[in-house]
Every structure is written in structure tokens, then in C-alpha cells.
Chain A
Amino acid sequence: MPTFFERRQLVTPGDLIAEGAYIAGENTYAEDSKIYASRIGIVEYDNKKIDVVALRAFYIPKIDDIIIGTVVEVGFNGWTVDINAPYLAMLRASDVLSRPFKPQKDELSQVLNAGDLIVAKIISYDRAHDPQITVAEPGLGKITRGQIMKIISTKIPRVIGRKGSMISMIKQETGCQIILGLNGMILITGKTPEDEELAMMAIHKIDEESHISGLTDRITQMLKDKKKEKEENKE
């Protein structure tokens, strides 16, 4: 059963990755027992399953995903939220207001207005309906401080690292709180703007070099070097 690309090699749409009894995973498709890539990305083999970790993709909502979104419109019984996906999401007023919603009395824009950032969770999504989100869980709701950055959603797992090792390391080295939206939006809240920028720099580096191995060590090294620089500059 031949394979034509090695693990971690770059493939482009239409590249024949393997032939035989393989399973077409992410960003691949099968035709006549041949597995082809459907996006630009890096090949990963997981036993018989072939995935392509896409270097270029857009976010498609999945139920239970934690995401960060921007309110774009205040409607009659809820808000329309941009979740960095091709589909706009809906946040129902009843989800946010603890008491029954009275359209005449309740001024929705007082609760959430266009331009507000929120951390939310996808509660429903299918081919025929736009995604619905909720903020009625602990840790979700309006964002009041911190910095937002955007990376391609497929890189989020790399930022998390194996068993969360990468993200824990960054949090530790920078002292920042970091919320990773699975839609590629990231919220960083630190004690100082410099700490926040350090975390952002680390994440940018992951975004750019995610397809090269030895990343965790390089990021750790970079953070340690920058901190040392900061100490030296203070003196």
C-alpha cells in the first residue's frame, strides 16, 4: 500500500498522498481507494487514517466549541455575532437575560452592543441553520480587558500543545491569562501590556513555524531570552 508523501511533508490540493486501504481524514478525500489532499497543509498519519493539517483554512463551527466573537448587530430578540466563520452566529436574548425577555421593556443594546467582544460556546449548528451560541456558562460572557489576536483556526491545537504543554508554558513564562477560541481568536490578559505582547509574539511564532519540529523548545528559548533582555534593559 504505497504512500507518496512522508509525515510532515507539505501537500497541495490534488496531491495523491496514498493508495490502498487508508481512511480519508481531515482535508483529504478518497476516490477509487486513493487518498488526495483537498487543502494546502502538512500530512499526518494516524495508523490507517491520513490527515492534512491545513496551513490555509477557515473555521467551521462545531457544537461545544469555545469561541471568541464580535457582536455586529443588535436585533429584535438577540444579537448577531461574527465568529470568524463564513456563517454569522446568533445569540438569543433569552440566553443572556436571566429573566423572561420582554421586547418592549428590555433594551438589548444596554446588555451587549455592536463592537463588544464575547467568549461564547457553540450550542447548535447544522447545514440548514446558522450557528447558535450561548454565554450562559461559567467563564463565558463579555470581554472587558486584554488584547485580541487572530490566527488561523487550524493552528490552535499547536498553540495548545501536547496535553496543553505549549499553552501552559506560555502562560507561565508571561504570567498572562490566555483564552483560546477554537475559531482562531485568542484573548490575552496580562499584568502589563509588555507581558501581553510577549505572549502574542510567542503565539505569532507558533503560527508561522508550526510546521517545523522542535517548536516547543524554540518558543521556550525565545521567551526566556526576551525576559532576560527585559531584565538587562531595566538595569
Chain B
Amino acid sequence: MSQKPEKLIDKKGIRLDGRKPDELRTVKVDVGVLSNADGSAYIELGKNKILAAVFGPRELHPKHLSLPDRMVIRCRYHMAPFSVQERKSPAPSRREVELSKVIRESLEPAIFLEYYPRIGIDIFIEVLQADGSTRCASITAASLALADAGIPMRDLVSACSAGKVDGTIVLDLMDTEDKMGEADVPVALMPNSNAITLLQMDGNLTQDEFEKTVSLAVEGCKKIYAIQKEALKTKYVSVNEVSEAEE
């Protein structure tokens, strides 16, 4: 059982893991990591380790689950039993059910659902190790997996959390900060249209603090967007561009 730390932010404004308030954790992203999935991505955000896979589009069984005028998206967010401090039962918890829903709702606005009626896409997210802001990291990875599967999208969806910890507005909350802090606000954004597709909050913030927190989270999402694009470009331009110059 972990003890509550004395302070979450020290006198110099440094957080428990050495970060400044507006600093993102280290992000590592890899695309196309699962050979059986139509699209996949793996993300490490701080100590979070999350795998996202996309299957489809494909026919749904039973057929009545499909819609006549658009694609159906199904999403399953699931945490591995060993992903958290105290073993989590493999059965879907109420939290996982809610997160599966909000994650799906954060990705749907980006997908051209109307293009392909009567079929569906399955998104599977497995949290292998959790350390706060898992839904944000999951959305970031799932978005890449969708692009990897060739699903036509308006934009990538980038997600990041912000919140209040020891009275300070901070970016990208880790688990301790989420549990012990004063507020947690996860946000997902389609950066081109500046449209928020996921927004939740728990905690306590004044109107002014809320505004600062949302702004900070949106900034964080834009940083994540740059990382996602870089990952896709690295994957698909694997051969030296010098050959291009030969033309």
C-alpha cells in the first residue's frame, strides 16, 4: 500500500518525477506492431504501456448490429490484471465500460463513418501498465492504429490531461497526481479544427482555474499531435529520401 507523499510539488515547483508543471512525460510511439491486426500502435507515456489494435472495417455478426447508412465503431478499453498496483480482475469493471464509451466517442468524430455503411470497426485497447492518464494515451494510440488500418479520417485525435496538484495547474498527470491532486481534466482534440472530442473532469476548480487547465491540456494535445505525425512519417518513409533526389 502506497503512502501519501508529503508534497506533490516541491518549493522549486518540481513534481515527484522531476518534471516542471507544464512538462509532458517521455512519449514513445510505434506504429504497425501487430501482424494480425489491420492497424496497430503501441505507446509509452511515462510508465504507461498501452497497445491499440484495429480490426476492420468488416462485416458485423450478427448483422443487425450494423447501420444502413454508416460504419459502426466498437471499442473495448481493458486493463491487464498486472497493469496496476493491486491486481485487477480481468472482468470488465464499470470504469472500463465507461472509458470504452468515452474513448469511442472521442474517435468517432474524426472518422468518415458515412463512407462505408453496413460494416464495422473494432478497436481494442489493452493497458499493459498504468500510471495515470491511460485514457489519453489510449486515444493517442488508437488514433494511430486507425490511420495504420487505412481508415479515412478528418484528422488524428491527440489526447492529453491537465489538472491541479498542490494548488498548481499541471500538464499530464501521473497516477499519484491524479489520486492525490485536486483536479484531473483529460482532453482529446482534433488539432486542425480545434475541436474537443473528449472532455471529462473530476475534482474542484474555479472557473478561472478551469480555463487555464483546459488551455494547458489543449497545448499538451498539440505536442502529442506532433509526436504522432513524426511516428507515422518515420514508419512510412523508411528508405533514405536521397533516392528521391536521384529523379
Do chains A and B directly touch (beta carbons under 8 Å) in the complex?
Answer: yes
Interchain CB contact under 8 A, B232 and A209: no
Interchain CB contact under 8 A, B38 and A128: no
Interchain CB contact under 8 A, A36 and B154: yes
CB of A14, distance to nearest CB on chain B (Å): 3
CB of B245, distance to nearest CB on chain A (Å): 9
Interchain CB contact under 8 A, B154 and A10: no
Indicate whether A40 sits within 8 Å of B116 (C-beta atoms), given known contacts A13-B154, A14-B192, A213-B243: no
Query: Chain B contacts of A8 at CB under 8 A?
Result: 244
Closest to B233 in A: A10
With an 8 A cutoff between CB atoms, is B167 at the interface? no
A87–B152 CA distance with the chains assembled, in angstroms: 17
A13–B225 CA distance with the chains assembled, in angstroms: 11
Query: Chain A contacts of B155 at CB under 8 A?
Result: 13-14, 36
Partner of B116, one of A55, A86, A152: A86
Q: Binding site of B, secondary structure by majority: helix, strand, loop or mixed?
A: loop
With an 8 A cutoff between CB atoms, is B229 at the interface? yes
CB of A85, distance to nearest CB on chain B (Å): 9
Interchain CB contact under 8 A, A128 and B152: no
29 A–B pairs (Cβ distance < 8 Å), ordered by A: A8-B244, A10-B233, A10-B237, A12-B147, A13-B110, A13-B154, A13-B155, A14-B153, A14-B155, A14-B156, A16-B192, A36-B154, A38-B153, A39-B150, A39-B153, A40-B232, A56-B39, A56-B147, A56-B150, A57-B150, A58-B38, A86-B58, A86-B59, A87-B118, A212-B239, A212-B243, A213-B246, A213-B247, A214-B247
* Residue-wise interface mask of A (197-235) relative to B, using a CB-CB cutoff of 8 A (1 in contact, 0 not): 000000000000101111000000000000000000000
Interchain CB contact under 8 A, A39 and B244: no
Q: Which residues of A (30-47) have their CB < 8 Å from a CB of B?
A: 36, 38-40
Interchain CB contact under 8 A, A58 and B57: yes
Interchain CB contact under 8 A, B154 and A87: no
CB of B24, distance to nearest CB on chain A (Å): 20
Partner of B112, one of A14, A38, A127, A128: A38
Interchain CB contact under 8 A, B147 and A39: yes
Closest to A86 in B: B57
Q: Which residues of B (209-244) have their CB < 8 Å from a CB of A?
A: 229, 232-233, 236-237, 239, 243-244
| Max chain A Cβ within 10 angstroms of own Cβ: one of B39, B68, B153, B229 | B153
CB of B126, distance to nearest CB on chain A (Å): 22
With an 8 A cutoff between CB atoms, is B149 at the interface? yes
Partner of A13, one of B152, B233, B244, B246: B152
Indicate whether A13 sits within 8 Å of B156 (C-beta atoms), given known contacts A36-B192, A86-B56: yes
Interchain CB contact under 8 A, A29 and B119: no
CB of A204, distance to nearest CB on chain B (Å): 14
Q: Binding site of A, secondary structure by majority: helix, strand, loop or mixed?
A: loop
Query: Chain B contacts of A16 at CB under 8 A?
Result: 192
Indicate whether A214 sits within 8 Å of B243 (C-beta atoms), given known contacts A14-B153, A38-B112, A87-B119: yes
With an 8 A cutoff between CB atoms, is A147 at the interface? no
Partner of A38, one of B38, B116, B152: B152
Interchain CB contact under 8 A, A10 and B59: no
A56–B232 CA distance with the chains assembled, in angstroms: 11
With an 8 A cutoff between CB atoms, is B13 at the interface? no
Closest to B39 in A: A56
Query: Chain B contacts of A58 at CB under 8 A?
Result: 38, 57, 149-150
Given contacts A29-B112, A38-B154, A212-B243, 13 further A-B contacts (CB under 8 A): A10-B233, A12-B229, A14-B153, A36-B192, A38-B153, A39-B150, A55-B236, A56-B39, A86-B57, A86-B58, A87-B118, A87-B119, A152-B150
With an 8 A cutoff between CB atoms, is A177 at the interface? no
CB of B176, distance to nearest CB on chain A (Å): 34
Closest to B245 in A: A213
Query: Chain A contacts of B148 at CB under 8 A?
Result: 40, 56
Partner of A14, one of B149, B154, B243: B154
Query: Chain B contacts of A127 at CB under 8 A?
Result: 69, 117-118
Closest to A58 in B: B150
A214–B153 CA distance with the chains assembled, in angstroms: 31
With an 8 A cutoff between CB atoms, is A91 at the interface? no
Query: Chain A contacts of B38 at CB under 8 A?
Result: 58
A29–B116 CA distance with the chains assembled, in angstroms: 15
Closest to B116 in A: A86
With an 8 A cutoff between CB atoms, is A54 at the interface? yes
Query: Chain A contacts of B244 at CB under 8 A?
Result: 8, 212-213
